[in-house]
Amino acid sequence: MGCKCNSSKLNLKIPEILGILVAFCILYYLKYLNKIGCVCALNDKRTYILYYTCLIILFNIFAITPYYSLRFFTDYRFITYLLVIGSVLNIIFTLQYIEELKKNNCECSKSIIRDIMFILSTIRIFIWLLLLLLCISLFISYKI
Sequence ranges of the domains in the chain: 19-143
Picking from 11, 7, 26, 17, the residue whose alpha carbon sits closest to that of residue 117 is: 26
Q: What is the pLDDT at residue 92?
A: 96
In this structure, are residues 33 and 46 in contact, taking their beta carbons and an 8 Å threshold?
Answer: yes
The confidence score (pLDDT) of residue 88 equals 94
Helices (H) and strands (E) in the chain, counts: 5, 0
- Indicate the DSSP class of residue 39: G
According to the model, what pLDDT value does residue 61 have? 83
What is the pTM for the complete model shown?
Answer: 0.81
Query: pLDDT tens digits for 87-133?
Result: 999 999 999 999 999 999 999 999 999 999 999 999 999 999 999 99
**Of residues 118 and 61, more confidently modeled:** 118
**Overall average pLDDT of the 50-74 stretch:** 79
Q: Tens of pLDDT along 3-49?
A: 555 555 555 678 888 889 999 999 999 999 999 999 999 999 999 99
How far is Cα 114 from Cα 121, in angstroms, rounded to an integer?
11
- Model confidence at 76, pLDDT cuts 50, 70, 90, reads confident
CA-based torsion, 87, 88, 89, 93: positive or negative: positive
Q: 90 near 52, Cβ under 8 Å?
A: yes
Residue 135 phi/psi, 5° resolution? -65, -40
Which pLDDT belongs to residue 9? 57
Compute CA distances 31 → 65, 76, 97, 111, 127, whole Å: 27, 31, 15, 13, 28
Q: Which residue type is seen at 124?
A: R
User: Of how many residues is the chain composed?
Assistant: 144
